[in-house]
Structures are given as structure tokens and as C-alpha cells.
Amino acid sequence: MTTRRRFMFMIPASGAVLAAACSDQATPPPAATPEAAPAAPPAAPMAPQEEPVPATPPEAGAGPMLDEADAAAVALGYVVDTARADKTKYPKHAADQTCSNCALYQGTAGADAGPCPLFPGKQVAAQGWCSSYVKKPA
Ligand code: SF4
């Protein structure tokens, strides 16, 4: 009787041991040791990155170039090249009138483009023109 009772107690215990032995989690994979990990290549010194410098830097914070097709540009007959101004529609236009010598032009001297208060957030071409041209005082 004692032997049979002991045997009955051993069955659940041995089942648990067998289940643990057959389980995937029973044997965890060996932990990677620092010696086993591949050595990282030494970091190469970083070469300084140089930005290409444009020939004529754009005006800081002036925004993109005004498109001739922009509704406000069309309304004022703006062109990026004063030579292309509509002489029929604007007979007072003169060939020497450009944004760069207009009183409203806010670009720096020698810049290719600059802001104009008539077209906020955009830049007009220094060689451009529109019908609101006002000669810059000498
Ligand atoms: Fe150019 Fe003057 Fe017309 Fe502005 S107002 S777009 S600077 S011509």
C-alpha cells in the first residue's frame, strides 16, 4: 500500500519535470558574451560637410520666387525680365526700369532677387518689372 501511494504521488511530479524538459523555455539560449559579439569597426573621423555657396545668396527669409503666372503678378503685369514687359498694355514702361531700381524693391544691391511689399512672402527678380514701378530716388 505504501508503495502504491508513493507511486501515485510521483506521477504528477514526474510529469511536470518532463514537461519542463521538453519545453522551449526549458533551456534558454546562451547569453551573448562580449567576447562572442563581433567587434564594431572603429569610427572613421567625420569630414566637415560644406554647403555650396550660391553666387548670389537669396534674401534671408524672403521666400520663393514670384511666379509670373501668380494671380497678383498677372494683375500687375509682372515679368521676371523687364525686356518682356507688355509695351502695348503699359506704354509708360521704359527699358531701364527694373525692380532693382524701383523704390519698393527691398533686395540688397547686387542680389539676383529680393522682396517687394506688393508680393508678400515672395521674391521678385532684380531684372523684373511690374506696372507699379516707382523710380528709386537718387
Ligand atoms: Fe518690382 Fe517695383 Fe513692381 Fe515690386 S513694385 S515688382 S520692386 S517693379
Q: Are 130 and 118 in contact (CB under 8 A)?
A: yes
Q: What is the pTM of this model?
A: 0.60
- Residue extents of the structural domains in the chain: 1-47, 58-138
Ligand 1 lined by 79 (C-beta under 6 Å):
no
With a cut of 70, list the residues of the chain below it in pLDDT. Answer: 1-62
Reduce the DSSP state of residue 4 to 3 states and report it. helix
Residue nearest atom 1 of ligand 1, based on CA coordinates: 99
Of 65, 78, 92, best ligand 1 pocket probe by most atoms within 8 Å of the beta carbon: 78
Residue nearest atom 6 of ligand 1, based on CA coordinates: 130
Ligand 1 lined by 62 (C-beta under 6 Å):
no
3-state secondary structure 42-55: CCCCCCCCCCCCCC
Residue nearest atom 4 of ligand 1, based on CA coordinates: 116
Cα gap 62→121, rounded to integer Å: 6
The class level of CATH for 58-138 reads few secondary structures
Specify the pLDDT at position 38.
Answer: 52
Interval 52-85: pLDDT, tens? 544 455 545 569 999 999 999 999 999 999 999 9
Ligand 1 lined by 118 (C-beta under 6 Å):
yes
- The CA distances from residue 126 to 30, 89, 96, 100, 135, in Å, are 71, 22, 12, 5, 14
Specify the pLDDT at position 40.
Answer: 53
